[in-house]
Amino acid sequence: MGISEETWLVTGGAGFIGSNFIRHALNVRDGLRIRCLDKLTYAGNLRNLEGLDKQYGDRYQFVRGCITDTTIVSGAMTGVDRVVHFAAESHVDRSIVDAGAFIETNVKGTLVLLNAARSQGVRRFVQVSTDEVYGTLGDEGAFTEDTPLAANSPYSASKAGADLLARAFFHTHQLDVVITRCSNNYGRYQFPEKLIPLMITNALEGKPLPVYGKGLNVRDWIHVHDHCDGVLLACENGKAGEVYNFGGRAEKKNIEVVQTILRLLKKPESLIRYVEDRKGHDWRYAIDCQKSERELNWKRKYSFESGLAETVSWYLENESWWREVKSGEYQNFYKNYYGEL
């Protein structure tokens, strides 16, 4: 059976990366059917998936539900060939305040999905993970797929737990599992609690831009489209039991990112506020993604400069989208976390 006759279950498809993935996969794989399973937490937004039902008809289906609910999961997985698992609590700062939901969704939810995939005989399970499971780097070096797991935040610990469960299902139950680990994504539909969209939208609102510590921590930035392309290739051509890293080869200090955003928006640097550092703040992430380039023939399309400029334009053109998501529950988190900035 070719991909064009398959049905994939995409969990967390109403979030940032999941929605970009669904749009990308439906666009580039004729005939592929995608069922999205999403609880619609504060981070899930049906506007991210708007228009897909009209554009793709019965090739696209949405199911609202929680991945920890065995009945919902078993129903959603019926007739599914592959599972691409994005659903997660994904924000490090929230995991510092309260890790409970991270364990529930990221660890327990992944177990429920793995059990269902096993009992329903799905062909492949893709565990979408993060470079943060490898811990932190000093000023030199990069994470490879063989770097030992050394998660430092409750978020990354919960993702590492999920990755190890996925690995265990491959070894113990011969479930066909592929794990992907990616660096920091940016692009359209990213919830404005993460660095890049928070800085863009705060600057547009004329609000202060909270920079942790001295702004010298380093992240590697990848455009969400390039990540989605990597997940698609890993899902189709990855080898069972293997891990594939994806990164942007775009290491930047946080302050450089913030300054670039202000320049693109023609806003003053006086908006920057250095605030108390994040607890346990990982110093630097960098990814060696040669294995994915070599074995999956994966190639990035975006430079950081072109990707960031495109992303800033998207937020400029989609003000109603970000104003709506910023006006909800997020306001409570912002007040509690950042105080009177």
Give the binding site for ligand TYD (CB under 6 A): 92, 184, 194-195, 198, 210-212, 217, 219, 254, 278
Tell me the pairing of strands 272-275 and 218-223: unpaired
Q: Is 128 among the residues that bind ligand NAD (CB under 6 A)?
A: yes
Q: Is 260 among the residues that bind ligand NAD (CB under 6 A)?
A: no
Tell me how far apart the alpha carbons of residues 294 and 292 are, in angstroms, rounded to a whole number.
5
Positions marked catalytic: 131-132, 155
Tell me how far apart the alpha carbons of residues 63 and 76 are, in angstroms, rounded to a whole number.
7
Tell me which residues in 188-227 interact with ligand NAD (CB under 6 A): 191
Q: Is 156 among the residues that bind ligand NAD (CB under 6 A)?
A: no
Q: Is 312 among the residues that bind ligand NAD (CB under 6 A)?
A: no
**Cβ partners under 8 Å of residue 83, min gap 6:** 8, 9, 10, 11, 77, 113, 117, 122, 124, 125, 126
Task: Output the CA–CA distances (angstroms, integers) from residue 195 to 51, 205, 211, in the order listed.
Answer: 28, 15, 9
Q: Is 14 among the residues that bind ligand NAD (CB under 6 A)?
A: yes
- Identify the CA nearest to 257 among candidates 310, 220, 302, 288: 220
Tell me which residues in 27-86 interact with ligand NAD (CB under 6 A): 38-41, 43-44, 66-68, 86
Instruction: Return the one option of ligand TYD, ligand NAD, none that residue 254 interacts with (CB less than 5 to 8 A, by type).
Output: ligand TYD
E-strand ranges in 205-291 read 209-212, 218-223, 243-246, 251-253, 272-275
**At its nearest, how many Å lie between ligand TYD and the CB of residue 309?**
19
Q: Is 87 among the residues that bind ligand NAD (CB under 6 A)?
A: yes
Which string of x and - marks every residue 101-120 that binds ligand NAD (by CB under 6 A)? ----x---x-----------
Residue pair 265/312 in contact by the 8 Å Cβ criterion: yes
Chain contacts with ligand NAD (rule: CB under 6 A):
11-12, 14-18, 38-41, 43-44, 66-68, 86-90, 105, 109, 128, 130, 159, 182, 184-185, 191
